[in-house]
A and B are shown apart, each in its own frame.
Chain A
Amino acid sequence: MAQNILEINDLTRQFKIGGMILGKKLTAVDQVSISLPGDKPQIMSIVGESGCGKTTLAKMVLQLLDPSSGEIVLDGVPLSHYGKRKNKKEFYKLVQPIFQNPFTSFSSRKRVDTYLFETALNLDVAKNKKEAKIVVQEVLASVGIEIDHVMGKYPNQFSGGELQRISIARALIPKPKLIVADEPVAMIDASLRMNVVNLFKKLKDEYNVNFIYITHDLSTAYYVSDYIATMYRGNLIEFGHARRVLNEPAHPYTELLLDSIPRVGKKWDQDVASPDMESKEYEMEGCKFAGRCIYAKEICRTAKPDMIHLNQEHQVLCFKHNDYKPEKDIKPYEKIELPSSNKSKISL
């Protein structure tokens, strides 16, 4: 087996909230370990609800945030190596971002093509403007846009989908090993989403590039990814092959997520527990999902679960798979009546 393209070891990031003395610590990413095999290009999705730490994780991979502890190893080289100023350029050649809202990632006072040319020139892909034009033309062609359509135009002259495709093209210029896409389709219409998502599939092989695709939309995640990581309140709770994870979800939260997709062809029948106020769950001692989990037992509230390897490529953070015997017969997820105390609690 080839070297892992991406290895995340025990990565933790804490934020301080509140004042110096009374302040609390909030662990946004809590001891996350992921390794992504590098024998062929992969798309890994990170899914989870807002505030689960998926963007914090992405920012650390992009070196926009420093981890509190743990390390990220990219293609055999730890990211701390790229921390020095002179190595920064090397890093940008390896890792490129795509952000959520294309209208804010491009300045509205700058022509869109300047971003493409500057990336090509600054990252030594091209020596002069003439060479740069060839590179830009090539990457734009691979996302299905002609260069004449882009030259001299400002961001407000494009639609959201077009602009997002241009930002994908920009990320491709240095031929990176890894592209981190943070909610790239959240701002785009459902009817145009598939165009962008299909691009990822196509570019993966064409440019031999790995993607980290961050989303809360499980249906596109299923469609596009090879691996799926589910996060909840800073913990990585499930990781494995996309097919396996979504066909046989092992963690109750993944089940809940799957169940909540507004699907065509299957209607919802029962209401769900809304999340507690975030910071409260971050501080919980045992499993952080225990308050909302229908399978929760006493042990879930007091002790932290360990990562269980269901098989070589499917791991889950849940007591359910660890000598767990249900106290009584549990009906499938949809049928359970939740105790009312779990519903919409809030702390002020």
Chain B
Amino acid sequence: MLKLNDVSAQYNILSGYVKAVDKVDFEVRKNEIFGIAGESGCGKSTLLKVMYDLIQYPLEISNGSVEIHSSVKSGNPVIYNNGEIHKSWWKVISYVPQGAMHVMNPVARVKNQFFDAISKYHDISDKKELQKEILDYLKELELPPEVLKAFPHQLSGGMRQRILIALATFLKPDIVLADEPTTALDVVVQRGILTMLMQVQKKMKNSIVIVSHDMGVHYQITNRMGIMYAGQMIEVAPTEEIFNNPRHPYTQMLINAIPKIGDNSQREGIPGTPPSLKNPPSGCRFAARCPFAMDICRNVEPERVHISEDHYASCHLLN
């Protein structure tokens, strides 16, 4: 569906390059929810930008390519490469941004924002017909029809986020990218939104890529997931496998940092801070924080090791 071939991306700042994404190579399959986890500043959002083909100065791709294999629309398989993907936004690939508060036009009614977004693909001369279509779609997602007449500030944060999801999926795209869709929302609303995303995916049988730093969210909704650290994808596996059999020390520490209700044992966060992406250390980037670090870790970058067909990690411990 969506394939990343050895992609590296960097920010060109005056004093050098910040290598936010470094040789990331994975694929998102059809009909699955793929999760990307990692702490802030590890390049999750940059990776999404690369996948969405939103390459604007100072961001640039220094290596590799992104491919989207789409076959649903015309019957024949169509391959979009990076540089072309942005021409089919909304239709083939769409994006649910992080802060629902800031991305909607504050002085336009929700209805007009819908018209605006889909005007490229839909004939919007017959607004009544189109409005009916939108209403039907909102009904399908169990959203109240009144929201179309509302301005964004009249809606709660959760409702705005739901509308963004509706907007992003209205044209039934093959891939939906969601960047931290539920941060800053409380747990009950978060649950509603994640359930909605799952239902949409089930209905459309498309692929959803969801970025979050909350491992609990990933456990609840994703089928496969990747762990990012300092710009690199260090472990990719089916979600169950990640939680039952994590192989990279960073993944293990991420899972151990989650407090559980009913279990009051002492939990530790991960000590230290991630390395600077401007001058990443040679060797494994996690070595400075890793309790198992060996000499080889500080000098040689680990290769990807396949634990099973679907599960790989980059760590010297696995050799």
> B160-217: which residues lie under 8 A (CB-CB) from chain A?
184-192, 194-196, 199, 213-217
Complex contacts, A262 vs chain B, CB 8 Å: 187, 190-191, 194, 214, 216-217, 219-220
CB distance A218 to B187 under 8 Å? yes
Cβ-based interface call for B271 (8 A)? yes
Residues of B in contact, count (CB < 8 Å): 54
CB distance A191 to B191 under 8 Å? no
Cβ-based interface call for B279 (8 A)? no
Could you say which of A49, A196, A264 contacts B258, with CB atoms under 8 Å apart?
A264
Could you say which of A49, A162, A345 contacts B189, with CB atoms under 8 Å apart?
A49
A261 and B259 CA atoms in complex are apart in Å by 11
Residues of A in contact, count (CB < 8 Å): 48
> B265-297: which residues lie under 8 A (CB-CB) from chain A?
266-271, 273
CB distance A260 to B190 under 8 Å? yes
Cβ-based interface call for B25 (8 A)? no
* Residue-wise interface mask of A (254-273) relative to B, using a CB-CB cutoff of 8 A (1 in contact, 0 not): 00111011111101100110
A232 and B261 CA atoms in complex are apart in Å by 21
CB distance B270 to A192 under 8 Å? yes
Complex contacts, B157 vs chain A, CB 8 Å: 50
Cβ-based interface call for A189 (8 A)? yes
> A221-263: which residues lie under 8 A (CB-CB) from chain B?
222-223, 246-247, 256-258, 260-263
Cβ-based interface call for A216 (8 A)? yes
CB distance B259 to A223 under 8 Å? yes
Which one of B63-71, B140-148, B301-309 is at the interface? B140-148
Residues A275 and B40 in contact in the complex (CB < 8 Å), given A191-B213, A223-B267: no
A19 and B251 CA atoms in complex are apart in Å by 54
CB distance A256 to B188 under 8 Å? yes
A343 and B192 CA atoms in complex are apart in Å by 10
Nearest residue, chain A, Cβ from B196 = A271
Could you say which of B39, B189, B270 contacts A274, with CB atoms under 8 Å apart?
B189
CB distance B257 to A194 under 8 Å? yes
CB distance B159 to A346 under 8 Å? yes
CB distance B259 to A222 under 8 Å? yes
> A188-229: which residues lie under 8 A (CB-CB) from chain B?
189-198, 216-220, 222-223
Residues A49 and B186 in contact in the complex (CB < 8 Å), given A189-B213, A271-B192: yes
CB distance B220 to A189 under 8 Å? no
CB distance B216 to A264 under 8 Å? yes
Complex contacts, A49 vs chain B, CB 8 Å: 186-189
CB distance from A308 to the nearest CB of B (A): 24
A345 and B142 CA atoms in complex are apart in Å by 10
A223 and B156 CA atoms in complex are apart in Å by 30
Cβ-based interface call for B149 (8 A)? yes
CB distance from A52 to the nearest CB of B (A): 9
In this complex, the member of A246, A247, A274 whose beta carbon has the largest number of chain B beta carbons within 10 angstroms is A274
CB distance from B92 to the nearest CB of A (A): 29
Sample of 5 further A-B pairs with CB below 8 A, known A190-B258, A344-B159: A194-B267, A222-B264, A264-B260, A275-B189, A346-B155
Question: Which residues on B are within 8 Å of A, measured CB to CB?
Answer: 39-41, 142-144, 146-147, 149-150, 154-159, 184-192, 194-196, 199, 213-217, 219-220, 243, 253-255, 257-262, 264, 266-271, 273
The 6 closest A-B pairs by CB, nearest first: A262-B216, A194-B269, A195-B269, A49-B186, A223-B259, A216-B186
Question: Which residues on A are within 8 Å of B, measured CB to CB?
Answer: 49-50, 159-162, 186, 189-198, 216-220, 222-223, 246-247, 256-258, 260-265, 267-268, 271-272, 274-275, 277-278, 343-346, 348
